[in-house]
Amino acid sequence: MMKTNYLFYAIVLAVFVCGGSRLSAQDRPAKERFTPEHRMEIRARHMQERLMLDEKTGEKFVSLYKEYLRDLQDCRKEPLKGELTDARIKENLKKELEMKRSVIKTKEKYLDKFSKFLSARQLEVVFKSPRRPSARHFRPHCGPGCHHKEPWRHAVNR
């Protein structure tokens, strides 16, 4: 009798879990996609908050930072696609170097513009901030008192 009760409860629980996940998946709205302009606005506002700028300086910064992001975006070019022959590889390398030169020129141009109203430390944040978090930001911390089950697998040999 006890075994059948446990079996009955297990089946009922499984039905609720499976059925509930299907219902919640249907209720979700479609994921909102941001336009490049909107993403640029979000990045600029986030950087403004990170620099802790007042309203007047913040507005100047946001407009100039969006202009800077657009110019950086214009510097980046796609490599040639198709079969990678020796000539095409060489051409891609030359285009990549040209792109890096134009990025450096753009950064130098905006360094002068930003330095009119930002401090040196703020400039460092603007120009050295990573575009995307790298994998090292998500590595587990394994030091004294590591809480992982197998800390020796995560520890860095020094």
**Could you give the dihedral angle defined by the CA atoms of residues 152, 153, 155 and 157, in that order, rounded to the nearest 10 degrees?**
90
- Residuewise pLDDT in 10s, the chain (158 residues): 566 666 667 676 676 666 655 555 555 566 678 888 889 999 999 999 999 999 999 999 999 999 999 999 888 877 667 788 888 889 888 989 999 999 999 999 999 999 999 999 999 999 986 655 444 444 555 555 555 555 555 555 44
Output the six-digit token pair for 62.
């946001």
Helices (H), the chain: 2-27, 36-51, 55-75, 86-114, 120-128, 151-154
Please name the amino acid found at residue 101: R
d(CA 65, CA 53): 13
Give domain limits for the chain: 36-128
| Per-residue confidence (pLDDT) for residue 83, from 0 to 100 | 80
d(CA 96, CA 93): 5
